[in-house]
A = this chain, B = another copy of it.
């Protein structure tokens, strides 16, 4: 089958954790996964969470959600009832069976998140002869693959492949190319196809009747525009259909965990110090409301704090371990949700969910919502930026970010600005207790620091998306927790 990873469920562990304790730092998905599974095994678990709510980056901004970035002005989400933006994780790939394990176990209702929509737009400012045109991915894929199929079909016809392929294989290849590219079987030319869309769609009667075919984009224009390179023969792993999202917002997953392990969580508890000895771990933390210092003592500690934050915590880790923590950088990432009073992308452009890709600086992707189909209003994702662009745009005020997003979006959608009502934005590198979207590993750090961090130090083990090859995904946090809780259990049972 060539499709696998049977790591689709928590580790099957025997024995009991009775009488043993684990303090878990951070009530994100890694921390709560560990708390949930360790509690089932009989461990006494305690979760320290700096925020007033659990979930870590698994957040949803809806009416009443507040965020004040470091050094920023307070934002309060004012979207209409029923509307939201998943400003953290927003997609659950079918391959992420670990995340799907819990949505099933906790009966979190899912709906399809349209991640692949050939009827959305691609819009390039620097697309050569195809610049500043709203193109549909279906047009680009149909035409580019059609032209390429024609080119190769003619190479077969001209016998230039005779040394490479047998006569039989050339005949089979020709069959394939005619089908793949919908070539005219007579002259082997690509002349367009229904899949690229019609100039006039088929309908009833004589008019429109069979409709009117549309003309393909020229091969040279496509080549010179580089627009075909926005796509690829198939979506890369794990972006393929079927993609999911929880109904009503991603934080449904966080809340489902919280419902089960909330009683173990101490909120507003900011970890200050970690000390590990031969028999115990002592974690010092501050109650951010009262300002008082407390400490938690346990047999083991599972630290699910992002490395970007952990590096600033006072620990007695070895120099080697501290260096490993510091060797991982965190991604600057920005997102903005824009509430539109009218779903113009559906009504005017017939785009239902999916992503508009663009080279507009700092925008990258405008994503249309996969819920509330055909309703009046909607919240779309106005940009999804990374790296330098994310840092630059994050320096703006929330209002300036919204204006930045509108100025770009209106180049693509005429109704963009006039439909705008409210915005909510986040720059994850400026969010306290995260300081970045996700861990970014260099090859060198994967070789040197990754094994060190995986090993943990003494009675302290680490978990989180950063200790996986699924960085930035909820599945990384969950699967990392699965591995590390199994190691705690192994050690505790030894």
Contacts and interface: CB of A to CB of B under 8 A. Distances in A.
B3 A136 contact: yes
A236 B194 contact: yes
A467 interface: yes
A470 B7 contact: no
Interface residues of A, number: 108
A204 B241 contact: no
Contacts of A139: 2
Interface in A147-205: 148-149, 151-152, 154-155, 160-161, 164-165, 169, 172-173, 175-177, 179-182, 193-205
Nearest to A4: B200
Interface stretch (A206-214, A328-336, A421-429): A206-214
A467 B2 contact: no
A138 B197 contact: no
Given A146-B233, A173-B223, A374-B104, A196 B2 contact: yes
Contacts of A480: 204-205
A430 interface: no
Nearest to A96: B201
Contacts of A288: none
A272 interface: no
Contacts of A479: 203-205
Nearest to A212: B4
Question: Considering residues A118, A148, A241, A354, which has the most beta carbons from chain B within 10 angstroms of its beta carbon?
Answer: A241
B373 A110 contact: yes
Contacts of A148: 148, 152, 173, 176-177, 180
B234 A142 contact: yes
A93 to B, nearest CB: 10
A327 interface: no
A145 B199 CA distance: 28
Interface string A104-129: 10000111101011110000000000
24 contacts: A2-B199, A2-B214, A3-B119, A3-B350, A103-B374, A110-B373, A111-B373, A112-B370, A119-B242, A141-B234, A145-B145, A146-B233, A148-B173, A151-B165, A154-B164, A176-B228, A193-B236, A195-B236, A202-B469, A202-B470, A204-B483, A205-B454, A206-B454, A209-B469
